[in-house]
Amino acid sequence: MKYLNEYRDPEQARQYLDQIHRITTRPWAIMEVCGGQTHSLVKNGILNLLPEKITMVHGPGCPVCVTPLNLIDKAIYLAEEKGVVLCSFGDMLRVPGSEKSLLEAKANGADIRVLYSPLEAVRIAQENPGKQVVFFAVGFETTAPANALSVIHARRLGLKNYAILASHVLVPPAIEAVMSDPDSKIDGFLAAGHVCTIMGIEAYHPLAERFKVPLVVTGFEPLDLLQGILMTVRQLENGEARVENQYARIVRREGNVRSRQVIEEVFEVSDRLWRGMAVIPRSGYEVRETFAEFDAKRKFDVRIPEAPENPDCIAGQIMKGIKKPFECPNFGTQCTPVNPLGAPMVSSEGACAAYYHFSGMVEQMNGEEGR
């Protein structure tokens, strides 16, 4: 496919790798914030081909992984107790709540549907006027405008039976939180290309300045990632700390202006708990008062006590880049994609699942019968 396959060319990849090896003289820790990039780095074997001096640290950029336990419990409650048609992106289904996952609730008979686009949820609401439909609106800035537009469509159609359960997180405050944590020692960042496609790159200049780190807006294909890493290492070796745009074929400086307007219309910025981490100030979106009737949190007023996290899961340390998945004692033993203890083992973009599926680490640990 055009604009996809050519960015997977092995010969070009080798040249990029050679160049990275040539210029790397000191140890550098580079965080890719986005789980999609983690997935691609691991899947394409890039981690094993980089110079030993370069450590890729996998950031908290998997919205599924950082969706609070309590919100998953709420979604399950809405589906089971309120008879709501609960619609969700697929990767949310197996994430463990305090007692069960959405998938288990579905197996028990709750009406839970996996969708590709929030607009399909609006259509389901339109076709089922007798039922309440809730879309589990999980995502980063990339997905926020689509979720916001579903609400705008529902209003335009005069629907009274559609609402979203918003679970939105924002990237720049997460970078700030990572850099402010005294335990993390990150030298540079690959900024998430698709988040910047929507939001633009202006928000990253103050971060580069304040924390003296290079931030390179990077795409998702092997050549994109290798070029992003090369640009970051070049800056680090030269003592620079700038924002650069590797993904200029897609990302404009101002982002997608229309999308930003849509987000602004429906959402407001709020403090937000990141599962396994902490409350990060001004790091999420909630539905505005003006759209309260489409906000499942207001509409259903579900109060569910906060449940404790599974103490065996060290997802927080994984997502801050302090530990690697295979350093978790449960990795590949108690915790597998089929039987996950924590969210990062569920989503294909979670660091634990990425390592489990692709790195061969489990095979190495368990001998031949690893899987």
Q: To 5 degrees, how large is the angle CA 146–CA 353–CA 272? A: 45
Decide whether 254 or 271 has the Cβ nearer to another protein.
254
| Residue 284 interacts with, from ligand SF4, another protein, none (CB under 5-8 Å by kind) | none
β-pair partners for 165 = 136
Question: Are 276 and 161 contacting, i.e. CB atoms less than 8 angstroms apart?
Answer: no
Instruction: Determine if 341 is a binding residue for ligand SF4 (CB under 6 A).
Output: yes
Give me the residues that bind another protein (CB under 8 A), please: 1-4, 6-7, 12, 15-16, 19, 22-23, 25-26, 34-36, 61-64, 89, 91, 116-120, 138-140, 142-143, 145-146, 149, 153, 156, 192, 194-195, 197-198, 223-224, 227, 230, 234, 237, 239, 246, 248-252, 256, 258-259, 262, 347, 349
Residues 6+ apart with CB under 8 A from 103: 93, 94, 112
Helix (H, G, I), strand (E, B) or coil at 159: coil
Q: Which two tokens stand for residue 177?
A: 């939180």
Task: For the CB of residue 270, give the shortest distance to another protein in the complex, in Å.
Answer: 20
Decide whether 90 or 329 has the Cβ nearer to another protein.
90
**Other beta carbons less than 10 A from residue 89's beta carbon:** 20
The distance between the two most distant Cα atoms of the chain, rounded to a whole number of Å, is 65
Decide whether 66 or 335 has the Cβ nearer to ligand SF4.
335
Residues 6+ apart with CB under 8 A from 138: 63, 64, 67, 88, 89, 92, 167, 168
Binding-residue pattern over the window 301 to 340 for ligand SF4, x denoting contact by CB under 6 A: -----------xxxx--x------x--x-xx---x----x
| Residue 314 interacts with, from another protein, ligand SF4, none (CB under 5-8 Å by kind) | ligand SF4
| Residue 198 interacts with, from another protein, ligand SF4, none (CB under 5-8 Å by kind) | another protein
β-pair partners for 244 = 216
- Alpha helix ranges (H) inside 98-162: 102-107, 118-127, 144-156
**Other beta carbons less than 10 A from residue 85's beta carbon:** 21
Instruction: Determine if 60 is a binding residue for ligand SF4 (CB under 6 A).
Output: no
Task: For the CB of residue 333, give the shortest distance to ligand SF4 in the complex, in Å.
Answer: 9
Task: For the CB of residue 42, give the shortest distance to another protein in the complex, in Å.
Answer: 15
Binding-residue pattern over the window 184 to 213 for ligand SF4, x denoting contact by CB under 6 A: ------------------------------
Euclidean distance between CA atoms 4 and 25, whole angstroms: 32
Task: For the CB of residue 116, give the shortest distance to ligand SF4 in the complex, in Å.
Answer: 26
Euclidean distance between CA atoms 84 and 140, whole angstroms: 25
Please state the φ and ψ torsions of residue 28, each to the nearest 5 degrees: -135, 140
Expressed in angstroms, the distance from the first to the final Cα of the chain is 32
β-pair partners for 166 = 137
Spatial CA neighbour of 253 closest among 262, 243, 263: 243
Q: Which two tokens stand for residue 305?
A: 């006590």
Decide whether 12 or 336 has the Cβ nearer to ligand SF4.
336
Decide whether 33 or 65 has the Cβ nearer to ligand SF4.
65
| Residue 161 interacts with, from ligand SF4, another protein, none (CB under 5-8 Å by kind) | none
Task: For the CB of residue 352, give the shortest distance to another protein in the complex, in Å.
Answer: 15
Decide whether 246 or 330 has the Cβ nearer to ligand SF4.
330
| Residue 321 interacts with, from ligand SF4, another protein, none (CB under 5-8 Å by kind) | none
| Residue 88 interacts with, from ligand SF4, another protein, none (CB under 5-8 Å by kind) | none
| Residue 248 interacts with, from another protein, ligand SF4, none (CB under 5-8 Å by kind) | another protein
Spatial CA neighbour of 273 closest among 350, 366, 174, 157: 174
**Binder among 173, 193, 200, 342 for ligand SF4 (CB under 6 A):** 342
- Alpha helix ranges (H) inside 250-310: 257-266, 296-300
**Other beta carbons less than 10 A from residue 271's beta carbon:** 12
Q: Which residue is nearest to ligand SF4 (CB)?
A: 342
Residues that bind ligand SF4 (CB under 6 A): 312-315, 318, 325, 328, 330-331, 335, 340-342, 344-345, 352
